[in-house]
C-alpha cells in the first residue's frame, strides 16, 4: 500500500532478512528490536526505509522516523496504522513507552501522559480506559475497608509463600488497612489466576486486607517490561517509571501512605525496584518499609527456592515454606500441569 510517496510494508516477523533491516534501522536511534512483538510495519521511499513501528498487545513500541523525513507526518501515519491493526484484533487501549524528548509527538496525537522517569522514559496512553478509571475501579472494590493508615504491597507470588505472608502480616498489624496488588502480567510459570487465588486463600483470615489484580499499571508490560528481561539501563528506567506512576497517580487516589517490600538479596531487578521505591516514594510523602526475609533452618524463604524444591520433588521441605492453602494446591491433581511445567522450566520466573 502507498501513502503519498511512501510504500507501506508489513514485516514478516519470521523473515530474518526483513527483521534484520528493522533492527539495523532502530539501532540508529539507540533502540533495540524486541522479538516479543505481534506486528511491525515499515514505510519505504525509493527502496529505503523511512520509518517503522510495532506493537505487542496494547503496547506500541519501536516507533522511529528517519531524520530526513521528520515533519512529514510519518509518526502519525505509523501510529494510525498500528492502532487500526490493533483495533482489528480487538485491542482498544494503547500505551506508548518513549523517551522524554519524544513525548510531545505522541501528546499531539491524543495520547495522555501516565508517568515519567527523567531522563529515561515516559509512558503515555490512549483509547478506552485510563489510569484514572483503573484507580476508581480499585477504590470501588475497597469501599468497606477501614479508614486510617493504609499500606500497599505489590506481589508476584510465584507461588505464594510464608515469606510473602510474613511481610503482608506485618503490614496488616501496623496499618488500619492493606491493599495487596497481585501482578497480573503473565510472565511467570504460575499463571495469574492461580497466583491471585492462592494469595486470597492464604490471607482469608484477615479482615483488613484487600487482594486486587495489579492490572496494567503495576509491574506490567507497559510500566515494567524490564521485570522479565535484562539490561541495566532498561531496568533503571522501568523500575523508576513504575515507582513514579505508583507514587504520583495510584497512591494518592487510593489514600496509600506506605509501601511494604521484602528485602531482596538475590534478584538484581527486584533489588533495583526496591531502590527506586526507596528513592522516589518518600519524595511524595509515602514511606517505604523493607522487611528482612524470614528463614527456615537458616535459609531464606523465597518463591524461587520453592520452585527449585518442586523440581527436586522435595515436598516435605516445601510444606515448611508455604501456607497450607498453597501446599494443598501444589499436591493436588489440578496443579499437575503447572508442576510439570515448573520441573521443565529453565527461566528464573
Distance CA 265, CA 295 (A): 13
Q: Give all strands of the β-sheet with 177-182 in edge-to-edge order.
A: 209-213, 177-182, 150-155, 258-262, 287-291
Contact 39, 1 (CB under 8 A): no
In the prediction, which pLDDT does 346 show? 66
Query: What DSSP character marks residue 223?
Result: T
Closest CA to 285 of 245, 252, 241: 252
> pLDDT tens across 154-179, in order?
999 999 999 999 999 999 999 999 99
Which own/partner pairs from 139-146 qualify as long-range (CB within 8 Å, at least 24 positions apart)?
139/253, 139/254, 141/210, 141/212, 142/177, 142/179, 142/210, 142/212, 142/254, 145/177, 145/179, 145/208, 145/210, 146/176, 146/177, 146/208
**Which residue range is the domain that position 243 belongs to?**
132-344
Strand partners, 151: 178, 258
Grid cell of 136 as nine digits: 476508581
Which own/partner pairs from 134-141 qualify as long-range (CB within 8 Å, at least 24 positions apart)?
134/215, 134/216, 134/217, 135/249, 135/250, 135/253, 135/254, 136/253, 138/179, 138/212, 138/254, 139/253, 139/254, 141/210, 141/212
Grid cell of 124 as nine digits: 503515555
- % pLDDT > 70, the chain: 95
- Per the rule left: phi > 0, alpha: psi between -120 and 50, beta: everything else, 132 is alpha
Contact 102, 63 (CB under 8 A): no
> pLDDT tens across 278-297, in order?
999 999 999 999 998 888 88
Q: Is pLDDT at 187 greater than 60 in this prediction?
A: yes
Closest CA to 5 of 43, 56, 60: 43
> pLDDT tens across 62-73, in order?
899 999 998 889
Phi, psi of 179 (to 5 degrees): -110, 120
Let me know whether 97 and 146 are in one domain: no
In the prediction, which pLDDT does 347 show? 62
Q: Which of 110, 128, 146 is the last residue of a domain?
A: 128
Return the CATH number at 311.
3.40.50.620
Let me know whether 61 and 169 are in one domain: no
Let me know whether 45 and 139 are in one domain: no
Let me know whether 172 and 105 are in one domain: no
The chain-wide mean pLDDT, for the chain, equals 92
For residues 319-326, average pLDDT: 97
Let me know whether 241 and 291 are in one domain: yes
Q: Which of 93, 128, 163 is the last residue of a domain?
A: 128
For residues 204-231, average pLDDT: 82
Query: What DSSP character marks residue 67?
Result: G
Grid cell of 53 as nine digits: 513501528
In the prediction, which pLDDT does 296 show? 84
For residues 106-117, average pLDDT: 95
Any domain includes 349: no
Let me know whether 182 and 283 are in one domain: yes
In the prediction, which pLDDT does 266 show? 67
Let me know whether 117 and 150 are in one domain: no
Return the CATH number at 55.
3.40.630.30
Q: Is pLDDT at 218 greater than 60 in this prediction?
A: yes
> pLDDT tens across 26-61, in order?
999 888 887 789 999 999 999 899 999 999 999 998
Grid cell of 59 as nine digits: 503496547
Amino acid at each position: 500500500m502507498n501513502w503519498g510517496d511512501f510504500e507501506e510494508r508489513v514485516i514478516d516477523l519470521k523473515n530474518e532478512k526483513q527483521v534484520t533491516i528493522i533492527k539495523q534501522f532502530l539501532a540508529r536511534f539507540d533502540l533495540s528490536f524486541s522479538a516479543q512483538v505481534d506486528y511491525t510495519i515499515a514505510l519505504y521511499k525509493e527502496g529505503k526505509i523511512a520509518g517503522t513501528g510495532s506493537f505487542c498487545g496494547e503496547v506500541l513500541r519501536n516507533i522511529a522516523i528517519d531524520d530526513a523525513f521528520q515533519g512529514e507526518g510519518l509518526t502519525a501515519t505509523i501510529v494510525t496504522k498500528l492502532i487500526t491493526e490493533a483495533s482489528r484484533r480487538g485491542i482498544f487501549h494503547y500505551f506508548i513507552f518513549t523517551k522524554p524528548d519524544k513525548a510531545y509527538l505522541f501528546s499531539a496525537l491524543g495520547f495522555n501522559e501516565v508517568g515519567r522517569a527523567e531522563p529515561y522514559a515516559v509512558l503515555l496512553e490512549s483509547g478506552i480506559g485510563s489510569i484514572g478509571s483503573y484507580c476508581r475501579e480499585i477504590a470501588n472494590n475497597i469501599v468497606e475497608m477501614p479508614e486510617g493508615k493504609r499500606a500497599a504491597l505489590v506481589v508476584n507470588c510465584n507461588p505464594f509463600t510464608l515469606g510473602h505472608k510474613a511481610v503482608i502480616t506485618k503490614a496488616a498489624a501496623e496499618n488500619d488497612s492493606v491493599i495487596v496488588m497481585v501482578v497480573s502480567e503473565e510472565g511467570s510459570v504460575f499463571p495469574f489466576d492461580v497466583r491471585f487465588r492462592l494469595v486470597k486463600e492464604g490471607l482469608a483470615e484477615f479482615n483488613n486486607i484487600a487482594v486486587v489484580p495489579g492490572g496494567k499499571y503495576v509491574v506490567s508490560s507497559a510500566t515494567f517490561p524490564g521485570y522479565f528481561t535484562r539490561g541495566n539501563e532498561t531496568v533503571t528506567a522501568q523500575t523508576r517509571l513504575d515507582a513514579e506512576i505508583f507514587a504520583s497517580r495510584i497512591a494518592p487516589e487510593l489514600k496509600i501512605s506506605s509501601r511494604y517490600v521484602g528485602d531482596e538479596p538475590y534478584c538484581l531487578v527486584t533489588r533495583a525496584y526496591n531502590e527506586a521505591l526507596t528513592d522516589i516514594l518518600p519524595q511524595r510523602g509515602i514511606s517505604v518499609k523493607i522487611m528482612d526475609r524470614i528463614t527456615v533452618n537458616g535459609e531464606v524463604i523465597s518463591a524461587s527456592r520453592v520452585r527449585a524444591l518442586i523440581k527436586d520433588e522435595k515436598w516435605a521441605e516445601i510444606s515448611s515454606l508455604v501456607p497450607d492453602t498453597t501446599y494443598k494446591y501444589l499436591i493436588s491433581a489440578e496443579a499437575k500441569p503447572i508442576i510439570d511445567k515448573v520441573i521443565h522450566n529453565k527461566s528464573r520466573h
